[in-house]
Amino acid sequence: MSQLLTLSRAARLVGASRVALQLKIRSGELPSFDGMVSADDLLRLYPNLKLEEDGGFEQVMQIKERAFGRRVRERM
């Protein structure tokens, strides 16, 4: 499953405005799910995008994974 990003986060990653991404969503170029866009779809539209080099992206993913693990352990 691809990582979902907020429209604001996606816009910052690609160096575009939220409005520009909203126009791509309305035109059908970029699918969205509850106001979020998938990293895979973003990479398809912006092939030069380097998500791995964005330390913030990786840090957020690690925080989410740790928090999820803690929640699972708390419920056991």
Query: What is the pLDDT averaged over residues 54-73?
Result: 73
- Count of structural domains within the chain: 1
Contacts of 72 (CB under 8 A, 6+ apart): none
- Please state, in angstroms and rounded to a whole number, the distance separating the CA atoms of residues 23 and 64: 29
Task: Give the pLDDT of residue 18.
Answer: 94
Query: What is the pLDDT averaged over residues 42-47?
Result: 92
23 or 34: which leads in pLDDT: 23
* pTM (two decimals): 0.65
| Of the candidates 9, 13, 16, 15, the residue with the CA atom closest to the CA atom of residue 64 | 9
**Least confident among 4-8, 12-16, 18-22, 71-75:** 71-75
**Average pLDDT, rounded, for the chain:** 84
Q: Give the domain range for residue 14.
A: 4-75
Count other C-beta atoms under 10 Å from residue 28's C-beta: 7
